[in-house]
Amino acid sequence: VLMAVHFAMSANVSYTWDWKRDAGTRAMVDDLAAVINAERPPGSRVVLGVEPGYSAAAAFYTQKCRTATIEMDTIPSPRAVDFLYVDERNAGTLNVIKRYPLASSVLARPDRPR
């Protein structure tokens, strides 16, 4: 009985400790698609720069996205990126669009020189 109670109290079906950094990636791609569709004409392509720790899950979810065309590059990227998905500690002067506290990450726009 004690084992069953312990399991019920500690079971986690949302994410595991190993994949905690990926917990916000699906929501981030959905949020990015909404931003793209609100701000850009249909068929627009954007480049999403992603930190290496988030790249595997981001590549998966950007490929599955059917509502926007998102090309993903691991940063540093050889081409200009339109949006960034980075650890919140590395957000610095970026223009943060949304935070994902569980994964400690942010979706942001690069800080462009004015």
Dihedral sign (CA 68, 69, 73, 79): negative
- Round to whole Å and give the CA distance between 54 and 59: 9
Q: Which amino acid is at 105?
A: S
pLDDT tens digit sequence for 58-100: 999 999 998 889 999 999 988 899 999 999 998 888 999 999 9
Angle between helices 25-39 and 55-64 (to 10 degrees): 50
- pLDDT tens, 13-62? 555 545 556 778 999 999 999 999 999 998 889 999 999 989 999 999 99
Distance CA 74, CA 54 (A): 9
> What percent of the chain has a predicted confidence (pLDDT) above 90?
55
| Contacts of 41 by beta carbon, 8 Å cutoff, 6+ apart | none
CA distances from 64 to 41, 96, 112 (A): 20, 24, 29
**Residue 24 near residue 16, CB atoms below 8 Å:** no
> What is residue 5's three-state secondary structure?
helix
